[in-house]
Structure 1
């Protein structure tokens, strides 16, 4: 019985110790800082920077305007990329760039083509759509592989 009581004390001490350590880690973690998008042009500039960092040429990008209803339009970017271009890594880097602005970037992958649609959401509204499609004719291009 004595051995059982000592075991309980050890487990209790370990739990208290881990709670203290967890509290210290939580307290020392900086709160996320959000930046603000003042207009859609700023969002488009962030996208252009991401395209440049990924070595996506302007000739690979087609921009159109989608009319959602009488009051709302949205830009859609159709981006053709070589087959070796990692759409997933592009999505990860784009998400890291846009998260500080409070934007969500859910995506949908189409099979078997593995084309990807990335939706840029803010306050439950889609602001932009990026459609990444594979074009094997571009396989000779040098694009960034993150």
Structure 2
């Protein structure tokens, strides 16, 4: 989900594993909702503090892909809702709801990503660059004029 959110909203290249790490934080937040007593007693404050510090850092340093971070956070939370936690009684309705939300979100996100004008522009620029590198001036010129 982090990569998909970056694909939709960010022009910057998405590199590294930070979206996946935020996904793990989302999974831990889901765990905290399912088991609040264990979360508060154990590592809850540390997880929340880590999340807040990383969000603040992400907004204060340029060229950090916050869309990838938030997408990973949401994706980790939703994936945990689909899978569940050990020793928790989960209803079929809850699992079905999380699965449906995840499927709809993925479908809409992929559709938006592939029809996004900035992504089409990037692909056009790559193709122009390819024609330029091959010294195919006519094809590059036609694409620039479109």
TM-score of the pair, normalised by structure 1: 0.25
Of structures 1 and 2, the one with the larger relative CO (CA 8 A, separation 6+) is 2
Which entry has the higher C-alpha Rg, 1 or 2? 1
The structure richer in helix per residue is 2
